């Protein structure tokens, strides 16, 4: 479960503090104080976004995770910052951002596509997998993932196209899998299912 522990009573006091005070705590406090600061920020609305952006740059994964959870609570207004969080190398930061972006639907495609440029293959694989849940709008981004040098990312993109559905058939048919029998079998299995009207891919 990726939800943070319930905020302590002191967080309630922080909610009444000006943004500048919370930013000061985020910059100068210890890890616990920095977490408390970002946990209080959603109550301040969109004005808190620049400070939460600082939270995403924190050296502590716990603080970055707290910032991400705060952004999740803020909804679509936080999409640009969630795009940064979904490219974090730590799963405790990346996973809640991923779930929030999937919930936003097709508008989140650019955010996940941006994560495909990460030097971390885990980030790219996660982005490719998630794009498959956003429908046909994600096909161009998945075509980018198909060119990834890491086979794991490419395989995730193929499976994601299978989840997109029949609209992905032309892309799958056009994929060159010569030299990789495993990927060729993945594509063949998905195409058989899509053309026969089967259920979700198990790849």
pLDDT classification of 6: cutoffs 50, 70, 90 = very low
- Decide whether 1-104 matches 107-203 in CATH topology: yes
- Domain ranges in the chain are 1-104, 107-203
Query: With contact defined as beta carbons under 8 Å apart, do 19 and 44 qualify?
Result: yes
Report the alpha-carbon distance of residue 105 to residue 6 in Å, rounded: 28
For residue range 110-166, what is the model confidence (pLDDT) as tens digits?
999 999 999 999 999 999 999 999 999 999 999 999 999 999 999 999 999 999 999
pTM above 0.95, yes or no: no
CATH number of 1-104: 1.25.10.10
Question: Biggest alpha carbon distance in the chain?
Answer: 62
Domain 107-203 in CATH 1.25.10.10: yes
Higher pLDDT, 77 or 16: 77
pLDDT band of residue 5 (cuts 50, 70, 90) is very low
Residue 31's SS3 state is helix
Q: Is the pLDDT assigned to residue 105 strictly greater than 70?
A: yes
The CA–CA distances, whole Å, from 61 to 31, 34, 71, 106, 197 equal 10, 11, 15, 28, 43
Mean of the pLDDT values across residues 1-15?
35
């Amino acid at each position: 479960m990726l939800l943070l522990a319930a905020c302590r009573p002191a967080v309630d006091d922080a909610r009444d503090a000006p943004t500048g005070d919370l930013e000061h705590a985020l910059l100068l406090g210890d890890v616990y104080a920095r977490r408390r600061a970002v946990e209080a920020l959603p109550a301040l609305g969109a004005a808190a976004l620049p400070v939460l952006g600082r939270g995403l740059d924190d050296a502590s994964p716990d603080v970055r995770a707290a910032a991400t959870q705060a952004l999740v609570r803020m909804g679509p207004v936080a999409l640009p910052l969630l795009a940064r969080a979904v490219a974090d190398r730590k799963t405790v930061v990346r996973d809640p951002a991923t779930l929030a972006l999937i919930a936003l639907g097709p508008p989140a495609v650019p955010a996940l596509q941006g994560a495909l440029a990460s030097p971390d293959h885990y980030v790219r694989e996660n982005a490719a997998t998630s794009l498959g849940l956003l429908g046909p709008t994600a096909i161009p981004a998945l075509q980018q993932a198909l060119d990834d040098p890491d086979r794991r990312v490419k395989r995730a993109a193929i499976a994601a196209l299978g989840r997109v559905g029949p609209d992905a058939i032309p892309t799958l048919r056009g994929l060159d899998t010569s030299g990789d029998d495993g990927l060729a079998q993945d594509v063949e299995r998905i195409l058989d299912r899509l053309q026969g009207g089967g259920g979700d891919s198990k790849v």
